[in-house]
Structure 1
Amino acid sequence: MKYLIAIVGLLVVFGLAYMVSNNKKNIKFKPIIMMVIIQMILAFLLLNTTLGLVLIQGIAGVFTKLLEYAGSGISFVFGGLANEGESPFFINVLLPIVFISVLIGIFQYLKILPFVMKGIGLLLSKVNGMGKLESYNAVASAMIGQSEVFITVKKQLGQLSEQRLYTLCASAMSTVSMSIVGAYMTMVEPRYVVTALVINLFGGFIIASIINPYDVDPAEDILDIQEEEEKQSFFEMIGEYILDGFKVAVIVGAMLIGFVALMEGINNVFDLAFGISFQQILGYIFSPIAVIMGVPLAEAVQAGGIMATKLVTNEFVAMMDLAKMAEDFSPRTLGIISVFLVSFANFSSIGIVAGAVKSLNEQKGNVVARFGLKLLYGASLVSVLSAVIVSIIL
């Protein structure tokens, strides 16, 4: 039965993408089919094999150790701020982003990260039927973040067509950056975080290939990655990445304060007025999508509420809600919803991506703002697609 539901889920996802395609006749089905098969193979290897288990345990172990290192710095500055036995979210989940941001900066400075991103990007371009720039951008988004990635391609922004710009932005919204992966792993099982990171990469290409098909002229597909115009010293770079990481932690914390409080207030108003919370209403609206993702009907409304929360607020709020309701879900449903939540597909990301592009090229930033809702639509379909793929494996 789960395979039948998964087939229906795949057809629905592809159908919804096809409905808004800007060039239905130009869709290349061979790369799409190949990438779906790759997604299934990777999901199976990561979730159902000893090799996958060892790999994920290794990655989780690395992030656990990094969080321990981050904890020493946090304890030095904020030690004694919380009562013994308490675990403040900002201190234990968000502040480690600062340390991981520094590590990303060091790997960038040593040219290790650009080399890896460019290499994987070139390899992916052989599979996805897209340009080298699009492939590089998807990998870079997953490593350095959805706003920072555009700095590395700012030379090309002015020459990009609207179609190519859409794909670059869709990749940025469909993935998550390495700097906050550690934070996710404190709320969601690491194996689902790692699996989502990997298959979302291909999911972004699949959905973009349907919604936004186009051909790239090889002569225009020059992968000339932007280097820093003014060479920084090593310690200048470290200081910059420390501040950048802290800004991310504070911004996420501020958004959580606002969104959690707003959701609580709206839920209370709806409960008093209609006897049902706003999240429950959203749950009923999103429950059909949860069902095609493989969530049992009995759990679909609660799952749909968490999915909707992620869309209208962000993934952190939704992950916190999932942690509170974890006992109400079967292990399989927990896995499916966890994978769905690991992406930047929410309304606030439209502003983040459009703002990042606009800061580098105002004209292109305005173009991104115009197709913002279509961008979110595509990125949300990527999350659903990844959840459907995982439902086949679990």
Structure 2
Amino acid sequence: MKVLIAVLGVLVVFGLALLISNDKRNIRYRPLAVMIGLQLILGYILLNTSLGEVMVKGIANTFEALLGYAGAGIEFVFGGLANEGAAPFFVNVLLPIVFISALIGILQYIKVLPFIVRYIGIVLSKVNGMGKLESYNAVASAILGQSEVFISVKKQIALIPKHRIYTLCASAMSTVSMSIVGAYMTMIEPRYVVTALVLNLFGGFIIASIVNPYEVPKDEDILEVQEEEKQSFFEMLGEYIMDGFKVAVIVAAMLLGFVALIAMVNGIFDSLFGISFQQLLGYLFAPFAVVMGVPFREAVDAGSIMATKLVSNEFVAMLDLANFTDLSARTVGIVSVFLVSFANFSSIGIIAGAVKGLNEKQGNVVARFGLKLLYGATLVSVLSATIAGLFL
């Protein structure tokens, strides 16, 4: 039964992607089949084998250690702020982003990350049938973040045609930044975070290959990565620490605003119609939850959490997921994988703004296909959750 549901889910995702495809006749199906095969293999390894368990445990332990190191700095600055035994969300979940950001800066400075990103991207381009630029961008988005990644290719932004810009932005919205992965792992099971990161990488290429098929001529497949302006080690470290703190504060502000607004809207709907806004959205998203493999009786609750992520962000939805204590482990796993991405309305503005800051004309192009971008990135999340559901 799980296999039939997974096949149905993949077909639904492909069908919805075909609805908005720019060029149905030129879709290349061989790379699609290869990437779906890789998703199935990797999903099985990560969720159903001892090797996957060891890999996930190693990654989780690494982040747990990093969060512990971050805790030393947090305790020094904020020690005594909270009551004994209390666990403020901003202090325990968001502030560690500052330390992770600093660590990423160090790895960038000593040229470890650029080397890894560039060559993983080149290998991926052989698998996905896309250009080196697109493949680099997908890997770099997962390291640098959905807005910062465009700075690394700013030399090429003005020259990139519209169809390639779409793929670059879709990759950025479908992945998540490494700096906040640790925060996710404090809210949902690490194995679902790792699984989503891997599946989304290929899922982004799959959906982009259907929605926006094209072939990059060899003479146009040039990757020019912008070298960061030369700074001293401590200049760089200070910059990355401040960037991490800005991210933590921005996420906190977004959470404060969205949680409060959703509570208000829920209250208004409940008083007027006897049903909360989230429950209403749950009914709209329930069919997608079912094709992802969520049991029918839990589909409305799962759909509500999915919708919350779309209209607010993944942090709000993860907090919401924790409140549904009666959901089955299978549903929690499927929904958790769905939540690990930047596919939400606010990301349209973030990505368009990032590109516009580098090139105003291209930023306007991104803003025009913003909804199509969100549509495609959401299909990536549905596809990843569907593949995960096959092994849960």
Q: Deviations over 1:34-93 (max 9, x none)?
A: 100100100100111111101110000000000000011011111111001110000000
Counterpart Cα distance in 2 of 1:114 and 1:218: 23
Counterpart Cα distance in 2 of 1:184 and 1:305: 19
Q: Which residue of 1 aligns with 2:290?
A: 291
Q: Which residue of 1 aligns with 2:184?
A: 184
Helix, strand or coil: the match of 1:393?
Answer: coil
Counterparts of 1:1-394 in structure 2, within 5 Å, are 1-228=1-228, 230-325=229-324, 327-394=325-392
RMSD (Å) for aligned C-alpha atoms: 0.5
Counterpart Cα distance in 2 of 1:20 and 1:293: 21
Q: CA deviation at 1:226?
A: 0.5
Helix, strand or coil: the match of 2:390?
Answer: helix
TM-score by length of 1: 0.99
Q: Deviations over 1:249-269 (max 9, x none)?
A: 000000000000000000001
Counterpart Cα distance in 2 of 1:281 and 1:340: 19
**Matched AA of 1:330:** S
Helix, strand or coil: the match of 1:285?
Answer: helix
Counterpart Cα distance in 2 of 1:116 and 1:271: 51
Q: CA deviation at 1:218?
A: 1.0
Counterpart Cα distance in 2 of 1:146 and 1:380: 15
Q: CA deviation at 1:129?
A: 0.4
Counterpart Cα distance in 2 of 1:76 and 1:338: 33
Q: CA deviation at 1:328?
A: 1.4
Q: Give the unaligned 5+ runs of structure 2.
A: none
**Matched AA of 2:238:** G
Q: Deviations over 1:323-354 (max 9, x none)?
A: 111x2111111110000000000000000000
Counterpart Cα distance in 1 of 2:262 and 2:10: 31
Counterpart Cα distance in 2 of 1:73 and 1:150: 31
Q: Deviations over 1:100-130 (max 9, x none)?
A: 0000000000010000000100000000000
Counterpart Cα distance in 2 of 1:328 and 1:293: 19
TM-score by length of 2: 0.99
Q: CA deviation at 1:357?
A: 0.4
Counterpart Cα distance in 1 of 2:2 and 2:55: 27
Q: CA deviation at 1:393?
A: 1.2
Counterpart Cα distance in 1 of 2:5 and 2:64: 36
Helix, strand or coil: the match of 2:5?
Answer: helix
**Matched AA of 1:20:** I
Q: CA deviation at 1:6?
A: 1.0
Q: CA deviation at 1:96?
A: 0.2
**Matched AA of 1:233:** S
Q: Give the unaligned 5+ runs of structure 1.
A: none
Q: CA deviation at 1:223?
A: 1.2
Q: CA deviation at 1:149?
A: 0.3
Counterpart Cα distance in 1 of 2:108 and 2:217: 30
Helix, strand or coil: the match of 2:267?
Answer: helix
Q: Deviations over 1:303-335 (max 9, x none)?
A: 00000000000000000010111x211111111
Q: CA deviation at 1:387?
A: 0.5
**Matched AA of 2:131:** G
Q: CA deviation at 1:281?
A: 0.2
- Which range moved further: 184-193 or 4-13? 4-13
Helix, strand or coil: the match of 1:153?
Answer: helix
Helix, strand or coil: the match of 1:359?
Answer: helix
Counterpart Cα distance in 2 of 1:290 and 1:264: 23
Counterpart Cα distance in 1 of 2:323 and 2:180: 21
Counterpart Cα distance in 1 of 2:59 and 2:244: 21
Q: Deviations over 1:267-294 (max 9, x none)?
A: 0010011111000000001000000000
Counterpart Cα distance in 2 of 1:51 and 1:4: 26
Counterpart Cα distance in 1 of 2:341 and 2:315: 10
Q: CA deviation at 1:242?
A: 0.4
Q: CA deviation at 1:237?
A: 0.1
Q: CA deviation at 1:215?
A: 1.2
Identity among equivalent positions (%) equals 73
Q: Runs of at least 4 residues of structure 1 off by over 6 A?
A: none
Q: Deviations over 1:163-183 (max 9, x none)?
A: 000000000000001000000
Counterpart Cα distance in 2 of 1:197 and 1:300: 24
Q: CA deviation at 1:12?
A: 0.5
Counterpart Cα distance in 1 of 2:211 and 2:250: 32
